[in-house]
Amino acid sequence: MPVIRFLDVHKSYRVDGKDIPALQPFSLDIVDGEVFGIIGHSGAGKSTLIRLINLLERPSGGSILIGDTEMTALPEPALRAQRRRIGMIFQHFNLLTSQTVADNVAFPLRLAGERDATKIRARVAELLARVGLDEHAGKYPSQLSGGQKQRVGIARALANRPEILLCDEATSALDPQTTASVLDLLAAINRELKLTIVLITHEMDVVRRICDRVAVLDAGRIVESGTVADVFLHPRHATTRRFVAEALPEEASTAQVPAAAGRVLRLTFRGATTLQPVLSRVMREHGVDFNLLAGRIDRIKDLPYGQLTLTLDGARSDAALAALRQAGIEIEEVAA
Amino acid sequence: MTLSPLQSLFPNIDDWGELGRACIDTLLMLGGSLTLTVLIGLPLGVLLYLTGKGQLRAMPRLYGSISLLVNVLRSVPFIILMIVLMPVTYALVGTKLGVRGAIPPLVIGAAPFFARLVETALREVQKGVIEAAQAMGASTWQIVRHVLLPEARAGIAAGITVTAIALVGYTAMGGAIGSGGLGDLAYRYGYLSYESDYMVVTVALLVVLVQLLQMLGDRIVARYKRH
C-alpha cells in the first residue's frame, strides 16, 4: 500500500517573471515500510522533490497524498499537525545551537503541546538511548562531532513517533566511517520501527547500502526507477550508469578488455547463487574455459550479489550459458 | 579655612548632592527609555524580519511602510526630534520636562534604531534551523519564540548594548532642553557658566557609565556565544 503517492506533480519557480521548471510532471508511489532513495546530481531537483512531501515546497500542480490525506488541500493548522507525523533530518543537521542536546530532542514534543516535564524527560532519555547518545544529553551541539549531531537530528525527528522519515542528504557532510554508522542506524530504525524512509543523495553507495527502491533524477525528470538491485545491476539510463560507475570505480570501464578476446559476457549472480560454486561446476561439466576480466562480490542492502565480466572459450559455450541461465544467473553480452 | 581635596580640585562644585541627583536622573532616563525601547523595538524588529523579502511572512508593502517610518525617525537628529515631539510628549506624559518628559522622545528616537539591529541579528539565524522547525510543524509564532529569539540572543544582546550607549548620549543632549540629568549639569554649569570642573566631572561619569554598559553587554554576549 502506498504511503506517499505523487500524481502528476510538477514544480516550477518564478524567477524575474519567468517560470523555471524544477520538476517535470511525475507520478510516484512510495510504499509503507520501505527505504526509498532518490538519487541525482545537485540541481537535479531532489531537494525540491523531498520537500514536496511535507509541503515545505508547494507543488505547481498535481496531487500529493500521504495515506488518504491530500496534502495540498490542508489548511495551515492541519498541515502543521500532519508535519508532526513526518520526521526530517538534514545535511547540516539544523540543530538549535542555543539549546542542549536534550532540549533539541524535546523541542518537537514541546511544539506538539506536551507540557508534562516528566513525560518529556522520559521520552528524551529513550530517544537518546536509541541513537546512542545517552551520555551527551547536557552538551551543546557545538561540543559534538558531525556524526553525533546527526544522531541528535535523528532522535529529534523520531520524537513525535512519525510514520515517515525524510533524509535530506543526511550523510553528505560526514566522513565515510561516520556515514556507515549513521546509515546502519537508519536501517535499524526502518526495521524496528517499521518507519518509511525517503532519502535523497548524490551517492550511489548510500542507495546500495540501505535503500529498497530507487528513483534516478536527472534535470528535473525521473529517468529510471525500480528495485535497487535491478537499477544497480542493470542500469539503463546514462546518468544511472555514471552513478553506478562512481560506486564501483574498479569496474568503471571495460577498457581493460582485450580487443581479440571474443565474446565478453557479464554474469550477474543474485542472492543464494552468489554463495554457490555454480560457475565452476557448469564450466567443468561443459568443458569450457573462461578468463575472468573483472569481478565483484558485494551486498545490496541485505542481498548478496556477484558480477563477473569474463570471456569464454570452448565449443560448447552456448550450452554452458544456457545451463548458467537455468541456475538463475543473468547474462549480458558486453559490447567489446 | 582649610579646603578638602575635593573642594580644591573642583572649586565650583558646591553641591555634590545635586550631582548625585543628576546621576540618578540620567540612570532613570536610561533605564526607563531602554526598557520601553526594547519592548517596542523588539517586536518591531521581528516584524521587519518576518515581512522582509523571502522571509516567513513576506509582505513587501507592509515591510516598505515600516522600513520607511524607521528610516525617517532615524534620520532626524535627536535634538530636533525632541523639539518636534514636544506636543506628543506633553500629550503622553503631561510634561515636556524632567525625566518623564525625556522618555517619550528617547524611546521614539531609539526604538527604530534598535528594531534595525534586531532585524539584522535575526537575519543571522541559519535558514536551515527555521526550515527544521517548520518541518516539525511549528507555527510562525512558535518559530519566533522558540527558534529566532533564542538563536539570535547574542546579536540581540549586542544590539541592546549599542542602543543603551546611544541612549546615554541622547539623555545628555536632552539636558539642553530641560530634561535634567548629567547632560543638563554639563550644559548649564559647564558650558553656560564656564565652570569647567562640572564639565570634567560629568564627562568622567558618563565615560564610566558607558564603560560599565559595554562591559556588561560584552559579558552577556560572550556567555550567549559560548555555544
pLDDT number for residue A315: 74
Q: How confident is the model over B166-187, as a mean pLDDT?
A: 87
Shortest distance between the Cα of B159 and any Cα of chain A, in A, equals: 18
Shortest distance between the Cα of A85 and any Cα of chain B, in A, equals: 8
Cell numbers 550511489 correspond to what residue? A204
* DSSP annotation of A335: P
- Return the half-sphere exposure (C-beta side, CA atoms, 13 A cut-off) of residue A127: 28
Closest residue to A94, CB basis, from B131, B146, B224: B131
Q: CB distance from B54 to chain A under 8 Å?
A: no
Q: What are phi and psi of A259, to 5 degrees?
A: -65, -35
Q: What is the rounded distance in angstroms from the CA atom of residue A133 to the CA atom of residue A295?
A: 40
Shortest distance between the Cα of B125 and any Cα of chain A, in A, equals: 10
Enumerate residues 6+ apart whose C-beta is below 8 A from B45.
Answer: B114, B115, B116, B117, B118, B119, B121, B122
CB contact under 8 A, A111 and B146: yes
Q: CB distance from A20 to chain B under 8 Å?
A: no
Q: B18-226 has which CATH code? A: 1.10.3720.10
pLDDT tens digits, residue range A89-109?
Answer: 999 999 999 999 999 999 999
Q: CB distance from B80 to chain A under 8 Å?
A: no
The alpha-helical segments, DSSP class H, found in A4-116 are 46-53, 76-83, 101-111
How sure is the predictor about B1, in pLDDT bands with cuts at 50, 70 and 90?
low
CB contact under 8 A, B153 and A107: no
Cell numbers 516567513 correspond to what residue? B56
pLDDT number for residue A274: 79
| Chain B residues touching residue A86 (CB < 8 angstroms) | 135
The torsion defined by the Cα of A259, A264, A270 and A273, in degrees rounded to 10, comes to -120
Q: How confident is the model over A307-318, as a mean pLDDT?
A: 82
Other Cβ atoms less than 10 A from the Cβ of A98: the count is 22
Q: A61 pairs with which residues across the strands?
A: A10
Enumerate residues 6+ apart whose C-beta is below 8 A from A302.
Answer: none
Q: How confident is the model over B162-177, as a mean pLDDT?
A: 90
Q: CB distance from A96 to chain B under 8 Å?
A: yes
Question: How far is CA A269 from each of CA B33, B122, B157, rounded to the nearest angstrom?
Answer: 78, 57, 64
Shortest distance between the Cα of A104 and any Cα of chain B, in A, equals: 11
pLDDT number for residue A245: 85
Q: What b/e sequence results for B23-43 when a residue is b if at least 16 CB atoms lie within 10 Å of its CB, and e otherwise?
A: bebbbbbbebbbebbbebbbe
pLDDT number for residue A259: 54
How sure is the predictor about A252, in pLDDT bands with cuts at 50, 70 and 90?
very low
A335 has pLDDT over 80: no
pLDDT tens digits, residue range A69-87?
Answer: 999 999 999 999 999 999 9
CB contact under 8 A, B147 and A166: no
Q: What is the rounded distance in angstroms from the CA atom of residue A272 to the CA atom of residue B60?
A: 63
Q: How confident is the model over A52-70, as a mean pLDDT?
A: 96
| Residue spans of beta strands (DSSP E) within chain A | 2-15, 18-31, 35-40, 61-66, 69-70, 86-90, 164-168, 196-201, 213-218, 221-227, 264-270, 289-300, 303-313, 330-333
Q: CB distance from B220 to chain A under 8 Å?
A: no
Range of A234-238, A301-305, B23-27, B129-133 with top mean pLDDT:
B129-133
CB contact under 8 A, A90 and B131: yes
3-class DSSP state of A217 = strand
Compare all CA atoms of chain A with the CA of B132 and give the residue at the minimum distance: A94
Q: CB distance from A141 to chain B under 8 Å?
A: yes
CB contact under 8 A, A142 and B142: no
Give the A:B interface size as CB pairs under 8 Å: 66
Q: What is the rounded distance in angstroms from the CA atom of residue A140 to the CA atom of residue B150?
A: 14
Cell numbers 554452458 correspond to what residue? A320
Q: Please report the ipTM that was assigned to this predicted complex.
A: 0.87
pLDDT number for residue A128: 97
pLDDT number for residue A222: 96
For helices B16-51 and B196-225, give the axis angle rounded to 10 degrees: 40
Q: CB distance from B140 to chain A under 8 Å?
A: no
pLDDT tens digits, residue range A186-240?
Answer: 999 999 999 999 999 999 999 999 999 999 999 999 999 999 999 999 999 999 9
Angle at B87 between CA B206 and CA B18, to 5 degrees: 30
Residue spans of the domains in chain B: they are: 18-226
Q: CB distance from B131 to chain A under 8 Å?
A: yes
Which helix (H) or strand (E) segment holds residue B187: the answer is none
pLDDT tens digits, residue range B110-162?
Answer: 999 999 999 999 999 999 999 999 999 999 999 999 999 999 999 999 999 99
